Amino acid sequence: MAIKVKLRKKKISGNRQSLYLDFYPAIPHPETGKPTRREFLKLYLFDNAKNPIDKLSYKETLQIAEQIRQKRENHLNKPEIYTGYEKVQLKIKEQGEQNFVAYFKSLADKRKASNHDNWVSAYNYLEKFTKGNLKFADLNEKFCNEFKEYLLTTKSNKSNKVTLAQNSAVSYFNKLKATLKQAYKDGYLTNDLNGKIQPVKQAETRRNFLTIEELNSLLKTECNNPLLKRAALFSALTGLRFSDIKNLVWSELEYIKGNGYFIQFKQQKTKGVEVMPISEQAYSLLGERKEPTDKVFEGLTYSAYENKHLYQWIGAAGITKDITFHCFRHTYATLQLSKGTDIYTVSKMLGHRELKTTQIYAKIIDQTKREAANKIQLDF
């Protein structure tokens, strides 16, 4: 009896449809051997495809899925024409003909929040560079290096007057490397191309921070938004990011006799679970303890209007540096290192996954020491 293979769609979250093959009658699962009617292809369609790029991606994804369906049907109904080696080679050839750009888009679609936006931006540059058409079989080191050079020299999509920032190029090229790595795992690539190409070098960025004198000046200066003031000072005393402070709830704060106050929370950026000691001064900024599920900094928001209060407060304290909220986290790291805390401990307190991320602050300290040394000048 011939096995029928139909391409079907299943609605899932995010206004997407997951494509899968429906077999009748059921076939043995390739791994478990148990009868199965479905094979999900890890390909997705968006219900609200409106712009030309999304429509093209929609069409190409359907074409890829249909090609897979036809091959599966042939394999199942005419097994005698394929030897084991031929089947492997045929699969490699089939996958090599599939569209890498569409595969990249499918990975981007799985991302959430700000990470999704970053992936979409990377996709836009890749789609523009390849005109949306690049087969897996055409991927090689030459293409990857040409795309790297393109990112380092092309104009920004946000402003055609300026070149794409190097650190944006770093991020977007890393998305390409991540996709190559996943494609190798999924069997679309027969060799680990990701391991053969070098990433774009990260550009060093200036990280402004406050001195202890400037922090004390801010402590004594009134702010039109007292909640923002408390949150900023709390960041300077703990190193927490704005997102982590905003989402902090009272159940994540505890006091252990003989050890002091601790915060146990999941970082918004890295998703790592952290247990971090905080000082009594930091705890004193939190106010009266409320219900376990209540937010500690209830009402804290990030907006241009709130930033205006931040800049006015900093100006009123006589500080002329360009200070954003994130600079209070930089301040924590810099002051800890300047007070002799070892870089490994600071890295853990900041929740960094890699020590090299923290080393930028050590360079800041070295530069600050150099500037201090040069302040004493004799009249030679």
Q: Which of 208, 218, 223, 274 is nearest to 244 (CA)?
A: 274
What totals of helices (H) and strands (E) does the chain contain, helices first? 14, 6
Region at 4 (left for phi over 0; alpha for psi -120 to 50; beta for the rest) = beta
Distances (CA, A) of 61 to 57, 58, 179, 184: 6, 5, 17, 19
Q: What is the residue whose two structure tokens read 């769609």?
A: 9
Q: How many CA atoms lie within 13 A of 228 on its CB side?
A: 22
Q: Is residue 81's pLDDT more than 60?
A: no
Q: Given this model, what pLDDT does residue 57 score?
A: 79
Q: Given this model, what pLDDT does residue 348 score?
A: 79
Q: Is residue 85's pLDDT more than 60?
A: no
Average pLDDT over residues 126-149: 92
Q: Given this model, what pLDDT does residue 56 score?
A: 72
Neighbours of 322 (CB within 10 A): 10
Angstrom distance (rounded) from CA 294 to CA 298: 8
Average pLDDT over residues 288-314: 89
What SS3 state is found at 45? strand
Average pLDDT over residues 287-310: 88
Better-scored residue on pLDDT, 19 or 204: 19
Average pLDDT over residues 306-330: 90
- Long-range CB contact pairs, 347-355, < 8 A, 24+: 349/239, 349/276, 350/239, 351/267, 351/270, 351/272, 351/274, 351/276, 353/270, 353/272
Angstrom distance (rounded) from CA 212 to CA 215: 5
Rounded to 10 degrees, the C-alpha dihedral 125/128/129/130 comes to 120
Better-scored residue on pLDDT, 365 or 128: 128
Better-scored residue on pLDDT, 236 or 351: 236
DSSP state of 317: T
Per-residue pLDDT tens over the stretch 225-234: 999 999 999 9
Distances (CA, A) of 194 to 139, 146, 167: 11, 14, 19
Kindly indicate the confidence band of residue 83, based on its pLDDT and cuts at 50, 70 and 90: low
- CATH of region 212-373: 1.10.443.10
Q: Given this model, what pLDDT does residue 175 score?
A: 94
Q: Is residue 354's pLDDT more than 70?
A: no
Could you tell me if 17 and 85 are in contact, meaning their C-beta atoms sit under 8 angstroms apart?
A: no
Better-scored residue on pLDDT, 16 or 353: 16
Q: Given this model, what pLDDT does residue 121 score?
A: 92
List the domain boundaries for the chain: 1-81, 101-203, 212-373
Q: Given this model, what pLDDT does residue 116 score?
A: 83
